[in-house]
Amino acid sequence: MEFEITRDYRNELLSRREVHFTLTYDGATPSRAQILGKMAALLNVKENLTVLDSTKKQFGMMELRGVARIYDDEENLKMTEREYLLKRSAPKAAEGAE
């Protein structure tokens, strides 16, 4: 899995960083959890403050493009993000405990 950050900018109004990326991979398409984990490690941020908004894949290509948002704190994250995106970005262990 190889990340290429295509756009990385700061949104001061919403206290977050918005990252557009291209991911090249071999084999099966990586899961959202794998993408979030790799991105958090690459950018040196906390995984629980990162939300993967969208991923787009073209048929037949081993490449996907995506958008992620990295928040400064959990309060801004919960106040700004849509509920379904928070559930998608939550770790599987936390979802099973609910």
What are 45-93's pLDDT values in tens digits?
Answer: 998 899 999 899 988 889 999 999 999 999 999 999 889 888 887 776 5
CA distance 55 to 32: 9
What are the boundaries of each domain within the chain? 2-88
pLDDT tens sequence across 16-34: 999 999 999 998 889 999 9
Rounded to two decimals, the pTM is 0.82
- Domain 2-88: which topology? Alpha-Beta Plaits (3.30.70)
